[in-house]
Amino acid sequence: MEHISIGDDIDGYDPAAYDRPSVTVDLVLLASIERQLHALLLRRDQSPQAGCWALPGGFVAIDESLDAAAARVLRDKVGMERAHLEQLYTFGAIDRDPRMRIVTVAYLALLRPEQMARAERAGRVTAATLVGDPLRACNGEGTDLSLAFDHRAILSVARERLRGKIDYSDLAFAFLPERFTLRALQDVHEAVLGTTLNKPAFRRKMLDRGQLVATGDREADASHRPAELFRVRDAAV
């Protein structure tokens, strides 16, 4: 066999001749609940980092695209059939996993509250609250959770991505059911941005965008004046 260094051109390169990184996908599964971002995590029961919390992930097979691998992990490890999935960033530091060299492609999945609740009931994953800056993950009692590997950095990049895109994209709707109130939409924006927003300005901006359709119906079970329900025009999201 011809001797070719790793730096040589791809043409004529024998992929079996050298050690190569493995490729995985990791999923950041987020929902917006009560004006706070929540993420689904798995508790590690094996070394290394036993007791730490990790993102659901898995290897990318040779005959599987990255997007397909992300969808498969969502199905097999989280028990969810469909979600708004988009590629986030690829993490490839040499020592990010002590077991072997792994390059992981992180995906962002945006869930509705009832999707996250169903996944939690299935029992494989647990929701944590994402708070503060820099980001921390907390359990229901407000105790900080230790995150495995570089997963805290991955969660931070996910939140930054949301913050950068929520103003001009449709991603907020992926957190909401088909019909929702303007207050619920504003709650999503506030959860993502970590700030409070001006209500009249928010209403004007959303309505002027022409993307929302009033249904004429109103929310039920409110102990006060019920708000109107809207939906997204077309099949956006």
Partner DNA sequence: AAAATAGTGTCTTTCAGACAGTATACA
Partner DNA sequence: TGTATACTGTCTGAAAGACACTATTTT
Q: What is the contact surface with its own copies in residues (CB under 8 A)?
A: 6-11, 13, 15, 18-24, 46, 57-67, 72, 76, 87, 89-90, 92-94, 97, 99-103, 105
Q: Is 208 in the site for DNA (CB under 7 A)?
A: yes
Q: Name the token pair of 223.
A: 């102990």
198 binds, among DNA, its own copies, none (CB under 5 to 8 A by kind): DNA
Task: State in angstroms the smallest separation of the CB of 210 from DNA.
Answer: 11
Q: What is the largest CA-CA distance in the chain?
A: 78
For DNA, give the closer residue by CB, 8 or 217. 217
Q: How far apart are CA 126 and CA 228, in angstroms?
A: 33
**229, 215 Cβ separation under 8 angstroms:** yes
Residues within window 162-201 making contact with DNA, judged by CB under 7 A: 181-183, 197-201
Answer yes or no whether residue 21 interacts with DNA by CB under 7 A: no
- Residues across the chain: 237
Q: Compare residues 11 and 221 and give the one whose CB is closer to its own copies.
A: 11
For residues 196 and 91, what is the distance between their CA atoms, to the nearest angstrom? 32
Q: Are 131 and 78 in contact (CB under 8 A)?
A: no
Least distance between DNA and beta carbon 86 (Å): 24
Interior CA angle at 123 toward 85 and 126, to 5°?
Answer: 60
Q: Would you tell me which residues interact with DNA (CB under 7 A)?
A: 181-183, 197-205, 208, 218, 222-228
